[in-house]
Structure 1
Amino acid sequence: MKRIKSTPRPDWKEKIASQGLVFSTTVMPDGSEIEYWHEGAYYEFDPREVDMLEEVTEELHGMCIEAARYLATGAMGNIGISPGAMKLAAGSLARSEPGIYGRFDFAYDGVNPPKMLEYNADTPTGLIEASIAQWYWLQDVKPHKDQWNGIHEALVRAWTKQRGGLDRARLHVAHTEVEESGEDWMTAAYMLDVANQAGWETVGMNISDIGWNSRTKRFVDLDENVISTIFKLYPWELMMKEEFGRNILDWPVMTRWLEPAWKMFLSNKALLAALWHLYPEHPNLLPSFLDSPNGMAEWVAKPLHGREGDNIRIHAEGVELEQPGNYGSEGWCYQAWSPLPNFDGNHPVLGAWVVDGESVGVGIRESDGYITDYYCRFVPNIIDAPAPDLSRT
């Protein structure tokens, strides 16, 4: 893997906005602005690297399913969720309720084995830039090269599979309006698009607009239509604290939720400790433990429900960092310190996308420091191989 400097397209900002990436400009705490989308460079993979990374991603996905089963037994405690939520997630897993997608975060330098940092398989974002914006960048800048990116096609296939051949199947897609950057709204809009391409009749809505019909024991939308299948871009651990979450506990199979309740296990940092317990010394895992560093001299403390780097603490030689945030009361996972690779002062994290259990592409975010947070930047990728004969709608 190499990081190669590149000349940005003169109209890049207009192009990514037209493709749905409307949340590229980030306001810093001092009021200055930085751009999330960064095409002043790109990362180049060797085809053999991509084959290896795909294999690792799919192996780890399977391992995570086993780790979820272990967490469902309660062997590692309540992992920051209520007994009712644990029971709901365990039942969902036992029923093998299907999911759509997830995103691994890896540290990888192109030389040493990739190390899993975490897995968000409940509410991962970053789809627009990984699936659409960087694909069109490739067509403009490197049209004769390939890219590790089959995300869009895989999502259409996955939604087609979920429809099960039914005509006029209706899918509700909900996101929270509290998120102000526009990222959640555009991610939900993209899911509406791929589901439409897969033949669904779709309805977009806010999470707060989900209603409950106490007579029929069904969730309904603003038009009183029954919500039979819903994709929700809202964390399960928060849903379980909402009033309508209690209705899910009482009537767990009346609505098909995507992602399903068992994804609570995969997006909880306790997953890291469960993986290390089940697969100690695995070359793609880092030692991880709940509640304490367990004798590790250098470690990263991660809140079980944390997101975007909030509340992460690093304790290592010459490095003492603590990010602000509102997480931590739910408990902590301590993961061995493994600094991100350094490409001339740029520290990338590989977001390896999984759709329906298959490794389908990557989105690379990089930062100036050790923690990938709200102020990171997205950098496109290419594969050093000829472009396949593909088209995309």
Structure 2
Amino acid sequence: MRRFVVEPRADWKQTAETYGFNFHTIRGEPYWDETAYYAFSLAQIERDIEAPTREIHEMAMDLAGEIVRSEALMQRLAIPRHYWDWIADSWGRGQPHLYGRMDLAYDGTGPAKLFELNYDTPTSLYEAAFYQWVWLEQQVERGVLPKRADQYNSIQEKLCEALATIAKSLPRPFYFSAVRESAEDQGTVQYLRDCAHQVGIDAGLIALEDIGLSTTGAFTDLDSIVIGTLFKLYPLEMMFEDEYGSHLPSSGIQLIEPAWKAVLSNKGVLPLLWERHQGHPNLLPAFFEDAPTTLTPGWVRKPMLSREGANIELLTTDGTAACTDGPYREGPRILQACHPLTRFDGGYPLIGSWVIGDLPAGMGIREDRSLITQDTSRFIPHAIVD
């Protein structure tokens, strides 16, 4: 794994906007950053990223089935009791899921280490699945990358296949939805809707704020038509707390991601995975904060329910400290052994390894100037160059 500095395409902004990538800059700073790329060998991808992703996903799915059958574990994850039966029923009926992303620390040496699972509302999908592939093709055409260069990226292909597979079982009408004012989230759901259209699925777009509640407790669109299936780029735990959240179990709506994903998007799965697979080379020791631990010096404290690197505290074994602010100041936390990201010339890269359906599908890299990857961390493309 190497980091190469390259000249950005002179027309990269125009190209991004032509393809609908309108959140390439965030708060005046580049989010998409092609001043460099990370290069991997095929062996590194297949052995150190793809294979562990498959194995970790299988372990997580086994754990999900155990959690939904255990009131004690549902309580341990601080999931509100009102939703337990709904979540268990969602799992029992095999409600389909579409995607997830796991964050891995990897620098080209040693086994990749799981930082966390983002299995409900993972972001950076469009740029990983589509736009970094556009970058690869154009840089090969322009001679910046060698002609043999490739990319670990079948995300869009597998998204379309997964959507086509699950479409038959989805009640209609089918909507993709996100918060109205989030350019990134709106771009993501528009991309996913385009993928659905590519495989013949008629689906609409609706802002989350425009979803209504009927007198019978069903969720409706702007024409007061009951929504059959809702892909929501909005965390389940936030839905639980919203004004209409209590109606979810009785509404009849089918969600993507489904209700059972609430147990895998919770960072409490990290200590549960460690309990069941202690010593696994791709896992880090992790514990609930209120439990006795044998954690060696060097730790990370994370809220069980948090997003985008917010409210994380970190202390390395050499005494380096880092922390982030955010809205998740309350609630239970976990402790995880600190495995600091390796510093490259541009900062600290984190691998986002995608799972579509149940299959490893590709990756994206986020790079930050600090040890904690956040919502403003830059997206850096990658290539396979043997």
TM-score surpassing 0.5?
Answer: yes
Displacement of 1:308: 1.3
Displacement of 1:165: 8.6
Match of residue 134, structure 2, among 128, 133, 136: 136
Inter-partner Cα distance in structure 2 for 1:329 and 1:80:
12
Displacement of 1:26: 2.3
Question: What amino acid maps onto 1:61 in structure 2?
Answer: H
Inter-partner Cα distance in structure 2 for 1:156 and 1:48:
27
Displacement of 1:161: 0.7
Inter-partner Cα distance in structure 2 for 1:286 and 1:90:
28
Identify if the C-alpha distance between structure 1 residues 135 and 24 changes in structure 2 by more than 3 Å, giving closer, same or farther: same
Displacement of 1:226: 2.2
Match of residue 38, structure 2, among 37, 43, 49: 43
How many residues are treated as equivalent by the alignment? 374
Question: What amino acid maps onto 1:319 in structure 2?
Answer: T
Inter-partner Cα distance in structure 1 for 2:67 and 2:300:
21
Question: What amino acid maps onto 1:48 in structure 2?
Answer: A
Inter-partner Cα distance in structure 2 for 1:170 and 1:285:
41
Partner residue of 2:63?
67
| Counterpart mapping for 1:241-256 below 5 A | 241-251=241-251, 254-256=252-254
SS of 2:334 mapped into structure 1? strand
Inter-partner Cα distance in structure 1 for 2:321 and 2:43:
37
1:291-319 C-alpha deviation (Å, 9 max, x unpaired): 25723221100111111111100122321
Inter-partner Cα distance in structure 2 for 1:162 and 1:70:
24
Displacement of 1:3: 1.1
SS of 1:106 mapped into structure 2? strand
Q: Which moved more, 1:97-106 or 1:12-21?
A: 12-21
SS of 2:241 mapped into structure 1? coil
Partner residue of 2:368?
367
1:316-348 C-alpha deviation (Å, 9 max, x unpaired): 232122211111422101110000012225211
Inter-partner Cα distance in structure 2 for 1:123 and 1:108:
23
Inter-partner Cα distance in structure 1 for 2:123 and 2:322:
25
Displacement of 1:212: 2.2
Q: Retained in 2: the 8 A contact 1:19–1:132?
A: no
1:111-168 C-alpha deviation (Å, 9 max, x unpaired): 11000001111001101110111111111102532111111111111111111299x9
SS of 2:176 mapped into structure 1? strand
Inter-partner Cα distance in structure 1 for 2:71 and 2:41:
42
Report whether the alignment pairs 1:222 with 2:222.
yes
Partner residue of 1:306?
306
| Structure 1 segments unaligned to the other structure (5+ residues) | 28-32, 386-393
SS of 2:259 mapped into structure 1? coil
Partner residue of 1:148?
152
| Counterpart mapping for 1:1-393 below 5 A | 1-27=1-27, 33-52=28-47, 53-72=49-68, 73-76=70-73, 77-143=75-141, 144=147, 145-164=149-168, 170-179=173-182, 182-215=183-216, 217-251=217-251, 254-292=252-290, 294-296=293-295, 297-316=297-316, 317-384=318-385
Q: Retained in 2: the 8 A contact 1:71–1:271?
A: no
Q: Retained in 2: the 8 A contact 1:313–1:321?
A: yes
Inter-partner Cα distance in structure 1 for 2:237 and 2:59:
22
Q: Which moved more, 1:88-97 or 1:12-21?
A: 88-97
Displacement of 1:262: 0.8
Question: What amino acid maps onto 1:222 in structure 2?
Answer: L
1:24-60 C-alpha deviation (Å, 9 max, x unpaired): 2222xxxxx3211111111111111121211111111
Please report the RMSD computed on the Cα atoms of aligned residues, expressed in angstroms: 1.8
Partner residue of 2:144?
none
Inter-partner Cα distance in structure 1 for 2:344 and 2:322:
21
Displacement of 1:110: 0.5
Partner residue of 1:390?
none
Q: Retained in 1: the 8 A contact 2:220–2:227?
A: yes
Q: Percent identity?
A: 38
Q: Retained in 2: the 8 A contact 1:170–1:200?
A: no
SS of 2:335 mapped into structure 1? strand
Question: What amino acid maps onto 1:282 in structure 2?
Answer: H
Question: What amino acid maps onto 2:161 in structure 1?
Answer: R
Identify if the C-alpha distance between structure 1 residues 352 and 329 changes in structure 2 by more than 3 Å, giving closer, same or farther: same
Inter-partner Cα distance in structure 2 for 1:85 and 1:92:
11
Q: Retained in 1: the 8 A contact 2:322–2:372?
A: no
Displacement of 1:178: 4.9
Identify if the C-alpha distance between structure 1 residues 165 and 119 changes in structure 2 by more than 3 Å, giving closer, same or farther: closer
1:197-227 C-alpha deviation (Å, 9 max, x unpaired): 1211111001121122234x53221112221
SS of 2:363 mapped into structure 1? strand
Inter-partner Cα distance in structure 2 for 1:323 and 1:341:
19
Identify if the C-alpha distance between structure 1 residues 160 and 169 changes in structure 2 by more than 3 Å, giving closer, same or farther: farther
Q: Which moved more, 1:276-285 or 1:136-145?
A: 136-145
Partner residue of 1:389?
none
SS of 1:201 mapped into structure 2? coil
